[in-house]
Structure 1
Amino acid sequence: LSSQANRFAFGKLSNSWFCGLPGNPVSAALTFYQLVQPLLAKLGGNTASAVPPRQRVRTASRLKKTPGRLDFQRGILQRSANGELEVTTTGHQGSHIFSSFSLGNCFIVLERERGNVEPGEWVEVEPFNALFGGL
C-alpha cells in the first residue's frame, strides 16, 4: 500500500488477532478497508475473493500525484452527461481530511510509477462498500 498504510501492525496476542492501524483518520480508514476488512472476511470463513473490485474509468478532473508510491485518492464516481461512468476528485487529499469519505464513493487507485493525471485519462477506481455508504 501507500505510505498512508505504512504503519500497520498485525499479529496474534494469546488467542486473539490484533491489527494496529495508523494514527490519522484517513490512513486508518484506508488501511482498515484495504487490509483489515478482507482479513476479517477470511477469518470468518468467507471464501469469496478478498480483493475489492476495481474498474477503469476516465477522470474528469486533474489529479496531483508524485511518482514512487501507490496512492489511494478519494473520488466521486458518477455518470457523465453522455451516460458513461467518470470520476472526479473530492478535492484536497490530506490525510486529516476525513470529510472526503462522506463526499466520495470510491478510491482512485494510482499506480506507483504514475505521476499527475489529466482530465480524460483512464484510471482505476475501487467503489467503497457499505462501510463508507458508497455505491
Structure 2
Amino acid sequence: MARREFTKTTKREALKRSGGLCEAVGEWYGLQGGQRCNAPLSYGVEFDHIDLDANSKDNSLENCAAVCIDCHRVKTFGHDIPVAAKTRRQQDKARGIKKRKSSLSHPYLKKKLSGEVVDLRTGEVVSR
C-alpha cells in the first residue's frame, strides 16, 4: 500500500513555517550534517516525509518538510527509492518469492541485436 499524500492544509502550514526557504537538512539531501539548504522555494516546492521509514503513514505537519526540487530529487533517488527497493526484495525473499529467470540465463546463449538467440558453442540460431 502506497503512503498517502499530505493534505492541502498541511502543505500550506509547512510552506508558511518554512518562510519560503527550503527546509532540507543534512546528508539525506546531499548537504553537510546539520546544514540547511535555505534555497528559495519560489522556483518550486515539494513536500517530503521527514520520517525515514519508507512505509510511514504519518502525514502530520511535524512529518512534512517543504523542500526545493533539487533537494527532494537527491533524497528520492539517493535514499528513498533504494531503501524501498531493498525492503521489497527482503519481503519477497521472506515470502519465498523469487525473481523470474530469463530464458537466456544459460551461459551459452546470446541474444543478438537482430533479436536472434544464438548458441555460442555451435553458432546455430536457437530462436528468432
TM-score, scaled to structure 1: 0.22
Q: Give the number of the structure whose residues are more often strand, by fraction.
A: 1
User: Structure with the greater relative contact order (CA < 8 A, sep ≥ 6): 1 or 2?
Assistant: 1
Greater CA radius of gyration, 1 or 2? 2
